[in-house]
Structure 1
Amino acid sequence: MHFHVNIYKWISLYKNSLIAVLSNEKVFERVEEVSIQFFNGKSFIVMTEYAFNHDVSYPLEKERVQPDIRFTSTNDFSIISMVESDMGYTILLSLVPKNYSGNYICRNLKQSHDIEIVLNNLKEI
């Protein structure tokens, strides 16, 4: 099905961006942004449904980045725990790490795109 986005009026409910979740190493202390190219060939941890997670796969594919996917998990806490244990790096939606505290750091992605939750114009519902 093809939608003509320009003919719809959308109300943005929330914007969320992708962030890099990295181990708490001194090398990352002064880094404010991470290039998506950083992940090329690096040990990477993803949600089990990676193939269906367009939020993470899209920027990697767009920039032709191929991380070394070493581990998968079904929940965010496990992924963050693996990052803390130096098992790899990951990319998550920025809301996720806000729910956890630990020995990891989050940095903005230079090539990130916003994920929006939108609602069709209320008059048309």
Structure 2
Amino acid sequence: MTARPDRASRLRLTLKSLLAECQQQLHQLLPLRQLVKGSVYELQTRCGKPSCHCASDQGPLHTSIVLSWSEKGRTRLQTLPPGERAHLRQLTENYRRFRQARAALVKLQRRMLATLDQLEKTLRLPPPKPASRRRRR
């Protein structure tokens, strides 16, 4: 019987630790004010003109910075003007950090629930046995 209080104490400490981890994740989530789903990257393409420098195998390709995102199951691309690139790169990074923190919170919540279930099993006592009744004659 002495193992039960010790186990309950360990489970309580685990819950406190998980709660602290949740708070860390929330501190990463809450300051974010704007998010854009997608990625900003450099796209390299060939234009298709036979006389262009990109037509040869060794020639440099045309480059542009694009925002890529998924919409209704399709990938969309939008070329970004130079003035918007840094801002949109930051917003897509915010989205990535938000989703990572959210996923970590989901895992932590599952671990917390499993720990709470274990704590309940540890603390739960069996129902009391009924008092013996005498039969009257």
Smaller-chain TM-score bracket: under 0.3
Q: TM-score, normalised by structure 2?
A: 0.21
Q: Which has the higher strand share?
A: 1
Rg bigger for which structure?
2
Relative to total residues, which structure has the larger helix share, 1 or 2? 2
TM-score by length of 1: 0.22
